[in-house]
Amino acid sequence: MPNTEPLVVRKPLSVREQPTRPAAQRWLLRFPQLADAYARFVVGRLPPTSRLRQASLWRATRLGMEAFNRRDVEAAVAAGHPDFELEPPREFVEVGFDPSYRGAAGFRRYVSTWSDVFGPDLRLEPTELIDAGDRIVLLANLRARGQASGIPFTGTIATVSFLNRGKATRVQAFFDHDEALEAAGLSE
Strands 85-87 and 101-102: antiparallel
Q: What are phi and psi for residue 29, nearest 5 degrees?
A: -75, -30
User: Rounded mean pLDDT of 93-110?
Assistant: 94
User: Rounded mean pLDDT of 114-135?
Assistant: 90
Distance from C-alpha of 187 to C-alpha of 51, rounded to nearest angstrom: 24
User: Rounded mean pLDDT of 4-31?
Assistant: 86
What's the confidence (pLDDT) of residue 121? 82
Distance from C-alpha of 165 to C-alpha of 182, rounded to nearest angstrom: 23
Q: Over the range 14-47, which residues count as b (16 or more CB within 10 Å of their CB) and which as e?
A: ebeebeebbeebeebeeeeeebbebbeebbbebe
CATH 3.40.640.10 correct for 9-183: no
Distance from C-alpha of 138 to C-alpha of 128, rounded to nearest angstrom: 6
Distance from C-alpha of 14 to C-alpha of 25, rounded to nearest angstrom: 17
Domain ranges of the chain: 9-183
Between helix 23-30 and helix 51-69 the angle, nearest 10°, is 100
Which of the four pLDDT bands, split at 50, 70 and 90, describes residue 6? low
What's the confidence (pLDDT) of residue 1? 44
